[in-house]
A and B are shown apart, each in its own frame.
Chain A
Amino acid sequence: QVQLVESGGGVVQPGGSLRLSCAASGFTLSSYGMHWVRQAPGKGLEWVAFIRYDESNEYYEDSVKGRFTISRDKSNNTLHLQMSSLRAEDTAIYYCARDISSTAPDAFDIWGQGTMVTVSS
């Protein structure tokens, strides 16, 4: 069935780096726009990043620009989020989500279960 499974979360010190992965099954990742969305403990949803189906454009939320990079591995049907210069305020559950559109941000129709990132010394 159509599914997204995130991995790679953990505890990292401020200023450190982490790479999240999102494995897709039941569909081809490169046919869809894909997102990362995060949710700090007890807080609301915050969009993080988007990549077009053809990787011709990426968009980022202002607070992560220059620190986070979204990418995909077609051979493994996997989405990634490379995070560097991590801050305490990046602590959150990180979800990957599929967009109903392939070219521009629209609606999220498939979500993963999330992976927890904790930035703490």
Chain B
Amino acid sequence: DIQMTQSPSSLSASVGDRVTITCQASQDIRSNLNWYQQKPGEAPNLLIYDASNLETGVPSRFSGSGSGTHFTFTISGLQPEDIATYYCQQYDNLITFGQGTRLEIK
């Protein structure tokens, strides 16, 4: 089974900050990685697919990069509405999610 290690588990940042979350795969997953945002009480929402492609309708301040085992998710210019938990998800072999990163406003 492929394990996904996401860090940090939580972080606090100010409006306008650049925020970075990392996801490490236990083996090479090529670019088979997606990122989701989940706001409290809501279902998750796809933001980034195939490691770096922005889903239609998602603001351009969200971006993703990486391949192989190391991946990065960035919010360039944090907005109050970005308060949520973010998950990475691999699909190279079935599906595994990272543990999630809870993002709070400082």
Once bound together, how far apart are the Cα atoms of A67 and B85, in whole Å? 30
The answer to whether residues A44 and B87 also contact, given A50-B95, A59-B94, A114-B43 and a CB cut-off of 8 A, is yes
- Those 3 A-B pairs whose CB atoms lie nearest each other, nearest first: A111-B43, A47-B95, A44-B100
- Judge whether A95 is part of the interface by a CB distance below 8 angstroms: yes
With an 8 Å Cβ cutoff, the count of chain B residues facing the other chain is: 22
> Is B44 among interface residues, defined by CB-CB distance under 8 A?
yes
| B87 x A45 contact (CB < 8 A) | yes
Interface residues on chain A, number (Cβ under 8 Å)? 22
Name B residues whose Cβ lies closer than 8 Å to a Cβ of A: 1, 34, 36, 38, 43-46, 49-50, 55, 85, 87, 89, 91, 94-100
Q: Given the known A-B contacts A45-B44, A100-B49, are A107 and B91 also in contact in the complex, defined by CB atoms under 8 Å?
A: yes
**Which B residues are CB-close (under 8 A) to A47?**
94-97
- Counting CB contacts under 8 A, is A106 at the interface? yes
Q: Residue-by-residue, is A61-92 near B (CB-CB < 8 Å gives 1, otherwise 0)?
A: 11000000000000000000000000000000
Give Cα A108–Cα B43 distance, bound, in whole angstroms.
11
| Closest beta carbon of chain B to A65's beta carbon, Å | 12
